Amino acid sequence: MADPTVPGADVTRPTDLLQARDVMREGHERGAGLLICGGTTKLDWGRPPQGVERIIDTTGLDRLIEHDPGDMTAVVGAGMPLGQLQDRLATAGQWLAIDPPRNAPVDLLRVLPTTVSTRAPSLPSLSGQSSPDQAERTATVGGIFASNDSGPRRLRYGSLRELVIGMTVVLPDGTVARSGSKVIKNVAGYDLCKLYSGSLGTLGLVVELIVRLHPLPDTSRTVRVPAASNSATALVLALMASPLEPTAVEYNGDELFIRFDGSDVHTSEQSKRTLDLVASHQLDCALIPDEQQAALWEELGQAHAGGDGKSTLRIAALPSRLHAVTSMIRQVAEQARVDVALASHACLGLHTARLAGGGAAQHAALIERARARMGEIGGHVVVRSKISGLDELVDPFGPPPPSLSIMRRVKQRLDGKSRCARGRFIGGL
Amino acid sequence: MISQQLHQALVDCLGPEGVVSERTQLRTYEMDALTGHRQVPGVVVLPESKEQVCAVVRLCRDAGVPIVPRGAGTGLSGGAMPREDGVLIVLSRMRRILAIDPENQRAVVEPGVTNSAISQAVAAHGLYYAPDPSSQMVCSIGGNVAENSGGAHCLKYGFTTHHVLAVEIVLSDGEVVTLGDSVLDPPGYDLRGVFIGSEGTLGIATSITVRLLRVPEAVRTMVADFDTPARAGDAVTAIIEAGIIPAAVEMLDSLAIEACEDATGAGYTRGIGAALVVELDGPEAGIDESLAAVETLCRNSGASKIRLAESDHERALIWKGRKAAFAAMGRLAPNYFVQDGVIPRTQLGRVLERMAELASQAELRVANVFHAGDGNLHPLVLYNGSNPGESERAEKLAADIAELCVEYGGSITGEHGVGVDKACSMPKMFSADDLATMLEVRQAFDPAGLCNPDKVFPTPRLCGEIPGPYRPHPLEEAGLIERM
Ligand SMILES: Cc1cc2nc3c(=O)[nH]c(=O)nc-3n(C[C@H](O)[C@H](O)[C@H](O)COP(=O)(O)OP(=O)(O)OC[C@H]3O[C@@H](n4cnc5c(N)ncnc54)[C@H](O)[C@@H]3O)c2cc1C
Ligand SMILES: Cc1cc2nc3c(=O)[nH]c(=O)nc-3n(C[C@H](O)[C@H](O)[C@H](O)COP(=O)(O)OP(=O)(O)OC[C@H]3O[C@@H](n4cnc5c(N)ncnc54)[C@H](O)[C@@H]3O)c2cc1C
Q: Is residue A389 part of a domain?
A: no
In tens, the pLDDT along A376-398 reads 999 999 999 899 899 999 999 99
Quick one: residue B422, left, alpha or beta (phi over 0 = left, psi -120 to 50 = alpha)? alpha
The least confident of A19-23, A101-105, A144-148, B172-176 is A101-105
Residues whose CB is less than 8 angstroms from the CB of residue A239 and which lie 6 or more positions away in sequence, other chains included: A246, A249, A258, A274, A277, A347
In tens, the pLDDT along B119-176 reads 999 999 999 999 999 899 999 999 999 999 999 899 999 999 999 999 999 999 999 9
Based on the fold, state whether residues B228 and B257 are members of the same structural domain.
yes
Give the number of other Cβ atoms within 10 Å of residue B227's Cβ: 13
- Nearest CA among A166, A210, A177 for reference residue A72: A210
Question: What distance in Å separates the CA atoms of residue A429 and residue B260, rounded to the nearest whole number?
Answer: 55
Average pLDDT over residues B385-390: 92
Based on the fold, state whether residues B319 and B224 are members of the same structural domain.
yes
Decide if A265 and B286 are in contact by the 8 Å CB cutoff: yes
**A103 ligand 1 Cβ < 6 A:** yes
Average pLDDT over residues B441-467: 90
Question: What distance in Å separates the CA atoms of residue B67 and residue B44, rounded to the nearest whole number?
Answer: 10
Ligand located closest to A98 CA: 1
Is the pLDDT at A262 greater than 80, yes or no? yes
Ligand located closest to A302 CA: 1
Based on the fold, state whether residues B205 and B117 are members of the same structural domain.
yes
Based on the fold, state whether residues A250 and A373 are members of the same structural domain.
no
Whether the CB-CB separation of B379 and B355 falls below 8 Å is answered with yes
Output the average pLDDT for chain B. 94
- Nearest CA among A45, A95, A5, A8 for reference residue A397: A45
Quote the minimal CA–CA distance from B304 to chain A in Å.
Answer: 23
Is the pLDDT at A129 greater than 70, yes or no? no
Q: Is residue B452 part of a domain?
A: no
Q: Is residue A144 part of a domain?
A: yes
**Would you place residue B242 in the very low, low, confident or very high pLDDT band (cuts 50, 70, 90)?**
confident
What is the CATH number for B33? 3.30.43.10
Is the pLDDT at A126 greater than 60, yes or no? no
Q: Is residue A65 part of a domain?
A: yes
Based on the fold, state whether residues B233 and B268 are members of the same structural domain.
yes
pLDDT at B133: 94
- Nearest CA among A70, A44, A398 for reference residue B234: A70
Based on the fold, state whether residues A318 and A297 are members of the same structural domain.
no
Whether the CB-CB separation of A182 and B344 falls below 8 Å is answered with yes
Q: Is residue B429 part of a domain?
A: no
Q: Is residue B451 part of a domain?
A: no
What is the CATH number for A60? 3.30.465.10
Closest partner residue to B178 (CB to CB) among A161, A186, A402 is: A402
Q: Is residue B477 part of a domain?
A: no
Question: What distance in Å separates the CA atoms of residue B63 and residue A407, rounded to the nearest whole number?
Answer: 26
Domain final position from B292, B307, B327: B327
Based on the fold, state whether residues B85 and B192 are members of the same structural domain.
no
Based on the fold, state whether residues A228 and A195 are members of the same structural domain.
no
Based on the fold, state whether residues B110 and B69 are members of the same structural domain.
no
- By percentage, how much of chain A surpasses pLDDT 70? 90
Average pLDDT over residues B432-447: 97
The least confident of A111-115, B263-267, B311-315 is A111-115
What is the CATH number for B310? 3.30.70.2190
Based on the fold, state whether residues A234 and A349 are members of the same structural domain.
no
In tens, the pLDDT along A180-214 reads 999 999 999 999 999 999 999 999 999 999 999 99
Based on the fold, state whether residues B139 and B36 are members of the same structural domain.
no
Q: Is residue B436 part of a domain?
A: no
Residues whose CB is less than 8 angstroms from the CB of residue B419 and which lie 6 or more positions away in sequence, other chains included: B34, B75, B76, B77, B78, B79, B81, B199, B455, B456
**A86 ligand 1 Cβ < 6 A:** yes
Based on the fold, state whether residues A204 and A80 are members of the same structural domain.
yes
Residues whose CB is less than 8 angstroms from the CB of residue A334 and which lie 6 or more positions away in sequence, other chains included: none
Is the pLDDT at B97 greater than 80, yes or no? yes
Secondary structure element (H or E) that encloses residue A110, with its range: helix A108-111
Torsion from C-alpha of A399, A301, B210, A143, nearest 10 degrees: -60
Domain final position from B90, B119, B135: B90
Question: What distance in Å separates the CA atoms of residue A179 and residue A207, rounded to the nearest whole number?
Answer: 12
Residue with CA closest to ligand 2 atom 11: B149
pLDDT at B402: 92
Strands A52-57 and A350-356: unpaired
In tens, the pLDDT along B323-366 reads 888 888 888 899 999 999 999 988 988 999 899 999 999 999 99
Q: Is residue A32 part of a domain?
A: yes
Based on the fold, state whether residues A81 and A125 are members of the same structural domain.
yes
Based on the fold, state whether residues B253 and B292 are members of the same structural domain.
yes
- By percentage, how much of chain B surpasses pLDDT 90? 83
Based on the fold, state whether residues A18 and A151 are members of the same structural domain.
yes
Whether the CB-CB separation of A154 and A161 falls below 8 Å is answered with no
Question: What distance in Å separates the CA atoms of residue A99 and residue A67, rounded to the nearest whole number?
Answer: 20
Based on the fold, state whether residues B208 and B167 are members of the same structural domain.
yes
Question: What distance in Å separates the CA atoms of residue B81 and residue B114, rounded to the nearest whole number?
Answer: 20
Average pLDDT over residues A319-339: 97
Q: Is residue A395 part of a domain?
A: no
Quote the ipTM score.
0.94
pLDDT at B482: 65
Residues whose CB is less than 8 angstroms from the CB of residue B22 and which lie 6 or more positions away in sequence, other chains included: none
Secondary structure element (H or E) that encloses residue B266, with its range: none
Domain final position from A267, A302, A337: A302
Quote the minimal CA–CA distance from B264 to chain A in Å.
Answer: 29
Based on the fold, state whether residues B308 and B364 are members of the same structural domain.
no
Phi and psi at B301, nearest 5°, equal -90, 5
Average pLDDT over residues B255-284: 93
Measured at the CA of B381, the angle between CA B380 and CA B384, to 5 degrees, comes to 125
Residues whose CB is less than 8 angstroms from the CB of residue B463 and which lie 6 or more positions away in sequence, other chains included: B423, B424
Q: Is residue B319 part of a domain?
A: yes
DSSP class of residue A122 equals: -
Q: Is residue A397 part of a domain?
A: no
Based on the fold, state whether residues A19 and A50 are members of the same structural domain.
yes
Based on the fold, state whether residues B155 and B205 are members of the same structural domain.
yes
Based on the fold, state whether residues A317 and A280 are members of the same structural domain.
no
In tens, the pLDDT along A397-415 reads 999 998 999 999 999 999 9
Based on the fold, state whether residues B208 and B104 are members of the same structural domain.
yes
- By percentage, how much of chain A surpasses pLDDT 90? 79
Ligand located closest to A34 CA: 1
How many domains would you assign to chain A? 3
How many domains would you assign to chain B? 4
String of b and e for A96-115 (b: at least 16 CB within 10 Å)? Answer: bbbbbbbbbbbbbeebbeeb
Q: Is residue B454 part of a domain?
A: no
Question: What distance in Å separates the CA atoms of residue B284 and residue B288, rounded to the nearest whole number?
Answer: 8
Q: Write the CA distances from A90 to A83, A130, A245, integer angstroms.
A: 10, 26, 24
Phi and psi at A77, nearest 5°, equal -65, 140
Q: Which residues of B touch A178 (CB under 8 A)?
A: 430-431, 434, 474
Is the pLDDT at B461 greater than 90, yes or no? no
Based on the fold, state whether residues A46 and A143 are members of the same structural domain.
yes
Is the pLDDT at A116 greater than 80, yes or no? no
What is the CATH number for A338? 3.30.70.600
Based on the fold, state whether residues A271 and A142 are members of the same structural domain.
no
In tens, the pLDDT along A305-316 reads 987 789 999 999
Based on the fold, state whether residues A30 and A174 are members of the same structural domain.
yes
Size of interface A-B (CB pairs under 8 A): 282
Q: Which residues span the domain enclosing B348? A: 333-424
Q: Is residue A290 part of a domain?
A: yes
Q: Which residues of B touch A191 (CB under 8 A)?
A: 148, 161, 193-194, 196-197
Longest dimension (CA), chain A: 68
Strands B218-226 and B274-282: antiparallel
What is the CATH number for B182? 3.30.465.10
Domain final position from B161, B187, B214: B214
What is the CATH number for A227? 3.30.70.610
Q: Is residue A407 part of a domain?
A: no
In tens, the pLDDT along B201-224 reads 999 999 999 999 999 999 999 999
Find the B341 Cα to ligand 2 centroid distance in Å: 17
**Would you place residue B484 in the very low, low, confident or very high pLDDT band (cuts 50, 70, 90)?**
very low
String of b and e for B52-89 (b: at least 16 CB within 10 Å)? Answer: bbbbbbbbbbeeebbbbbbbbbbbbbbbbbbbeebbbb
Is the pLDDT at A139 greater than 80, yes or no? yes
* Whole-structure pTM value: 0.93
Domain final position from A302, A333, A367: A302
Q: Which residues span the domain enclosing A266? A: 219-302
Residue with CA closest to ligand 2 atom 27: B143
Average pLDDT over residues B179-190: 97
